[in-house]
Amino acid sequence: MNEGTEPRLRATGPIASLIWRVVVVALVVFCAAQVGILSRPLGFLATLWPANAVLLGLFVIRPPLAWSGGWLAAGLAFLAAGYVSGDALVANLWLTGANMAGVAAGFLLFRRLDAEDRALQRPSSVLRMLLICVVAAASAATVGCVLAPMLSGFRVRMGFAFWFTTELTNYVVILPVLLTLPAMRGGRAFLDRLGNVVPDAATTMPVVALCLSVVGSIAIGGPGAIAFPVPALLWCSLTYARFPVSLLVLLSSLAMLAAESADLFLFLPSDDLLDSGTSFRLGLTLLALGPLTVATITAAQRRLLSRLDRAVRMDGLTDILARRAYLEQSEALLAKPRANLFSGVAVLMIDIDHFKQVNDQHGHAAGDAVLIAVTDAIAGELRRQDLFGRVGGEEFAITLPDITSDDAVAMAERLRHTVERLSVAAGVGLAIRISVSIGVVHRMRHPAGGVIEMLPLADAALYQAKAGGRNRIVLYSPSSRVGAAAE
């Protein structure tokens, strides 16, 4: 019986996954379409239609959803939304075709971009996204404008202009939110960082300024009112990451679109309300590009600075702290107020035994492999708060906060034993056995001279361990310094 049920259980996995993808796409599209339908003024096309942008973004960031079943589910969801709203059959089919044409054109172009451009990680990525949005909006408008005379009484030309600008605005303000959405695997870390943010003037004032500028734009009106939020949006772009900026651009744009639809904007008198609305949406679209571009450039600069900082702080071979970074972080750790209220602090100096012989007999490549193997093995045994750095060719130092003398010695012994079990390949049939000598110094209180004062003491204990036959541990005592000096 078990033999008969196991294959059936395995077969349901992919099927369930496919069904889930169909359901997700259908629900998202149907709900987004309902939002757009609610924005339709009487006798007009929808002034807000997020469904196409949401569907395109969903397919771009989750390619497995863009299979044949996903496209079919999206089309059926559009038809269902139109049916619920009372659209005639021919109009419903035509509108669905227009929506799908725009999404398909955008998706085909996004597939030609690499992952960095799709995630808006380059300064030129926003421009590429804009070009794709123009093609997608034009594709939908070309198909859909044929229905403009029947749906709203517009001439085909005016219907195309209305449809194109509406689609373009929706794509430009909605897509960046989806394209910069933090990955699901990093969502927990993102929420943790968000929870650790302490609101202050530097983090809250840009948002306050944006809210005030949007309100002022609506209240004052006039031909220049649409540009009022620009300084605040640029301030946000220089302060926040790409996703928050994209979200703020979306929210401010939606607020202004809603105000424009409700005739709250005090425009100059115009004989053609449609031309005014089309111009407004086009201006809003172009306005959104500036903050998005600045946010992308700022993010690229931050990534570059982060890589440069890492290159300075981390040892290039072993990927642990370089000497200077180790010393600075150790001093900062021990300088914290709680440092005098713990069990003590220990510093370990570690030296790989006979490392020069490894280089001489097996070559520098084998020596590098030994260094990497040793650091990986040691790092795997350390606590989260411990600091581990390379302070010389084959010498390493570890700062152990909040630890007793006995526990520090036990930790050193565990590290020595872990390294002793290593075997590093050095060619066909050859293996290098490794051992380390460790000097340990412990202080109950933060020493006045910090870690700089403790390192020579740990080094003296290390010399005593090497003099005693290597592959051993020595806890510092005054005799350790005497022995090191004599040597």
Task: Please report the DSSP string for 344-398 in residue order.
Answer: -EEEEEEEETTHHHHHHHH-HHHHHHHHHHHHHHHHTTS-TT-EEEE-SSSEEEE
Query: Per-residue DSSP letters for 128-179?
Result: HHHHHHHHHHHHHHHHHGGGHHHHH---HHHHHHHHHHHHHHHHHHHHHHHH
Residue 195 lies in a domain: no
Residue 40 lies in a domain: yes
Give 312-328 pLDDT, tens digit per residue: 899 989 999 999 999 99
Range with lowest mean pLDDT among 14-23, 101-110, 344-353: 14-23
Model pLDDT, residue 259: 83
| In a shared domain, residues 268 and 301 | yes
Model pLDDT, residue 197: 53
Residue 191 lies in a domain: no
Residue 469 lies in a domain: yes
| In a shared domain, residues 296 and 336 | no
Give 209-230 pLDDT, tens digit per residue: 999 999 998 888 777 888 899 9
Across the chain, mean pLDDT equals 85
Model pLDDT, residue 262: 73
| In a shared domain, residues 54 and 129 | yes
- Separation in Å, CA 255 to CA 50, 181, 211, 250, 264: 14, 21, 10, 9, 11
| In a shared domain, residues 86 and 34 | yes
Query: What CATH number is given to the structural domain containing 370?
Result: 3.30.70.270
Q: Residue 323 is encoded by which pair of tokens?
A: 């000497």
Q: Residue 192 is encoded by which pair of tokens?
A: 């943790």
Give 139-163 pLDDT, tens digit per residue: 999 998 887 666 665 677 777 888 8
Mean pLDDT within 171-200? 72
Q: How many domains does the chain have?
A: 2
Tell me if residue 463 falls in helix, strand or coil.
helix
| In a shared domain, residues 98 and 241 | yes
Model pLDDT, residue 337: 63
Confidence of residue 475 (pLDDT cuts 50, 70, 90): very high
Confidence of residue 42 (pLDDT cuts 50, 70, 90): very low
Residue 473 lies in a domain: yes
Percentage of residues in the chain having pLDDT higher than 90: 56
| In a shared domain, residues 41 and 149 | yes
Q: Whole-angstrom Cα distance, residue 56 to residue 136?
A: 10
| pLDDT exceeds 80 at position 6 | no
Residue 196 lies in a domain: no
| In a shared domain, residues 34 and 92 | yes
Residue type, 59: F
Residue 318 lies in a domain: no
Model pLDDT, residue 485: 44
Model pLDDT, residue 5: 40
Domain boundary among 259, 282, 311: 311
Provide the domain limits for residue 36. Answer: 2-182+201-311
Task: Based on DSSP, count helices (H) and strands (E) in the chain, helices before strands.
Answer: 19, 7
Mean pLDDT within 65-79? 94
Model pLDDT, residue 270: 53
If you count them, how many residues does the chain have? 487
Q: How many CB atoms lie within 10 A of CB 457?
A: 23
Domain boundary among 311, 334, 353: 311
| In a shared domain, residues 219 and 361 | no
Model pLDDT, residue 72: 95
| In a shared domain, residues 226 and 269 | yes
Model pLDDT, residue 150: 65
More confident call, 148 vs 54: 54
Query: Please, are residues 371 and 352 in contact by the beta-carbon 8 Å criterion?
Result: yes
| pLDDT exceeds 80 at position 80 | yes
Give 381-392 pLDDT, tens digit per residue: 999 999 999 999
| pLDDT exceeds 70 at position 13 | no
Give 243-297 pLDDT, tens digit per residue: 999 999 999 999 988 888 777 776 555 545 456 778 888 889 999 999 999 999 9
- Separation in Å, CA 64 to CA 68, 70, 178: 10, 9, 16
| In a shared domain, residues 130 and 247 | yes
Tell me if residue 469 falls in helix, strand or coil.
coil
Q: Whole-angstrom Cα distance, residue 190 to residue 183?
A: 9
Mean pLDDT within 197-210? 81
Model pLDDT, residue 12: 43
Q: Whole-angstrom Cα distance, residue 61 to residue 422?
A: 43
| In a shared domain, residues 297 and 361 | no
Residue 329 lies in a domain: yes
Domain boundary among 311, 332, 347: 311
| In a shared domain, residues 358 and 211 | no
Range with lowest mean pLDDT among 36-45, 283-292, 398-407: 36-45
